[in-house]
Amino acid sequence: MQTPTPQRILIIGSGGAGKSTLAGQLHALTGIEVIHLDQHYWQPDWVETEKREWEEKVAALAARDSWIMDGNYGGTLDLRIERADTVIFLDRSRWRCLYRVMKRLAISYGRTRADMAAGCRERFDWAFVTYVYGYTRTRRPAILSKLEGIHPQKTVVRLRSDREVSTYLAAVKNAILAIGPGGGAPNRKTELE
């Protein structure tokens, strides 16, 4: 029996966990369109989208037939999980995430990253650094609890290291080769060690 091909892959995790990077890697393997939520939430000069408009945008994006979507935005997480057939949680260490945030800042300072909305230049944001520092204590427990309650027909993948990410990407590639054109990520609940 062939494994169903995922069509809606949600990637969540702390800032600096590698969500956008993984989304790009999965796109390269599957050809599924990537939706960086930051590009849809932020307006030029880091102006936030109004709550109701944001919820409508996310509902429209999630209603698409296929996507790889990266981003947190807790207020719309349930809607995205409901539509996703695969949820990937990048459960990275606080220090790894902070390192990646600072590296990203050093490389992109003053420029707009490809995964960010136009007009949102990379800048130092103390509130964001504080959010990343506190993520494992303030956000992670609720995420883990939410993942435990996901319907068993959905795939949940928890990746905690670069090695686990590489192993998962290799599994996706092997599944695509085994299934043939149009294949996708393995459909199973997994926690790589």
Q: For the chain, what are the domain ranges?
A: 8-191
Helix (H, G, I), strand (E, B) or coil at 165: helix
Top-level class of domain 8-191: alpha beta
* Both tokens assigned to 71: 């981003």
pTM (two decimals)? 0.89
Q: Which of 27-36, 81-90, 126-135, 181-190 has the lowest mean pLDDT?
A: 181-190
Beta bridge partners of 10: 69, 87
User: What gap in Å lies between CA 4 and CA 189, rounded to an integer?
Assistant: 13
Q: Residue 69 pLDDT > 90, yes or no?
A: yes
106-153 per-position pLDDT tens digit: 999 999 999 999 999 999 999 999 999 999 999 999 999 999 988 888
